[in-house]
Structure 1
């Protein structure tokens, strides 16, 4: 997912053409307080005019925090518009009720929701937030805010515990887990390494703040050629439909979890 500032409507089209799977117009951190109203209007106008299609990436809107006046204004404006984004990102979620309120206010038109967990309290309450139900589809780490509140470095070691809590809570509730952007644009090798690490943990999405990060992330998402070859061969060797239990493959025993892993590898490689 690629973030684009709601202050910069002239960049919306460029973001859509950058190759991301999802583009998020940010009305929160990327918008100065004095520009909130104008950014909201520009984003909703663009959403109403955009031409959606299979060749276009999905579109998300990051609102201001639910417990703020600007967040309330965002929700009221969305409730009155005819066109919804495909996803809504909810920053600084502290409880399941924050998610449930958005669903109640937007009703049946509410799109998929992503809860950003950005405080020590939200990390501790990740499992309860994940059970909010309704259109909640993912939990996302808000690493910059969390690091600031912890007084910790915005780095891998300091955020590993939070990533693990978010992943476990998401999976227990059958949700996706999304990771925070890598903010250093001058170190693509660090972005690639961090992306591979979050994928190894089990995350589904690595977010970006600049178009130049997209190909780096996509390359990191692609499994190694030998893993793809192994997964293809395993898929072709699966017993006939209806068979169950373990079976031998290349000298080793294969069971259902191994097969699921192989199918995940093929899905990530675009070879479902």
Structure 2
């Protein structure tokens, strides 16, 4: 089971209900955040905001607090009063904790601690998991580190390894892989390069924290017209071939055809 909501997933603090509709209008899906974006004193009202939200449940994810917190059970209680069924679990570490969710709820596990990344495969294997996302800053904090990036914006090796490990775990179990947020809102070029690398590596979506990042992510995930035309042409050519064949000077085999199918599907998802 996987998740298909589009490439740009926009976080929105659950204590800002006036932003809910606008965030959903701008992005492919909105992540209503009950965790880090909301101060402890505002969490109770944030839950009531989610209970009262009139949003398309097919395009909403609710991020709940970590399972080892007192807020977790309260978050589950409020979800039971809504039609929202896609839930992002902050600081996922123990696959057994996912049993706390109902069979009709779909889990996006956020692997953002050393233990969560280490157990990403076990978490991905859980029957309620539909997607994995990773997080860099909480991961480095869990290791006692100071920063996930170098001064030039490049991820440190530990973050790059965690990113790859979560992506591989998601792929191994047919789950959707979601890339982490780019915290430097004004670094448009850095976000564009990171999102382009996410697409090339196999991520299906990238989360973001500001509406102006949505267009950058969508553009990175959208295949250009020439690539789509080539993918469609090679798939048509494959219909009359058996096994490996030559197309426009290039040897084509099944892995290349899988890439071509992915390009066509991605273009259709983004452009409709």
Q: Normalising by the residue count of structure 1, what TM-score does the alignment of the two structures yield?
A: 0.88
Deviates more, 1:93-102 or 1:214-223: 93-102
Q: Distance in 2 between matches of 1:157 and 1:244?
A: 45
Structure 2: runs of 5+ lacking an equivalent: 1-8, 150-154
Aligned to 1:128: 122
Whether contact under 8 Å (1:84, 1:109) holds in the other structure is: no
Q: Which runs of 4+ in 1 moved over 6 A?
A: none
1:25 to 22, 25, 32: 32
Higher RCO (C-alpha under 8 Å, 6+ residues apart): 2
Match of 1:65 in 2: 66
* Paired residues, number: 255
Kindly provide the CA deviation profile for residues 142-191 of structure 1, in whole angstroms up to 9, marking residues without a partner as x.
Answer: 22201222315323233110011101111111111111110111111111
Counting only pairs closer than 5 Å after superposition, residues 178-197 of structure 1 correspond to structure 2 as 178-197=178-197
Structure 1 segment 245-264 matched on structure 2, within 5 A: 245-264=243-262
C-alpha contact 2:137 2:147 (8 A) present in aligned 1: no
Query: Alignment partner of 2:191: what SS?
Result: helix
* Cross-structure match for 1:91: 90
Give the aligned partner of residue 148 of structure 1. Answer: 141
1:38 aligned partner: 45
1:76 positional shift: 2.0
Structure 1, unaligned runs of 5 or more: none
| C-alpha distance in 2 between matches for 1:91 and 1:115 | 7
Distance 1:212 1:252 in 2: 39
Is the 1:58–1:86 contact (alpha carbons within 8 Å) kept by the matching residues of 2?
A: no
Query: Aligned partners of 1:10, 1:101: CA distance in 2, in Å?
Result: 30
CA-CA distance at 1:86 after TM superposition: 4.3
Which residue does the alignment assign to 1:211? 211
Q: How far off its partner does 1:218 sit?
A: 0.7
Output the CA distance in 1 between the equivalents of 2:156 and 2:66. Answer: 27
CA contact (8 A) 2:123 2:129 kept: no
Deviation at 1:199, TM superposition (A): 1.7
The 5-angstrom pairing of residues 92-107 of structure 1 reads 92-102=91-101, 107=102
Q: CA RMSD in A?
A: 1.8
Contact 1:118 1:143 (C-alpha < 8 Å) held by counterparts? yes
Inter-partner Cα distance in structure 2 for 1:199 and 1:86? 26
Aligned to 2:20: 12
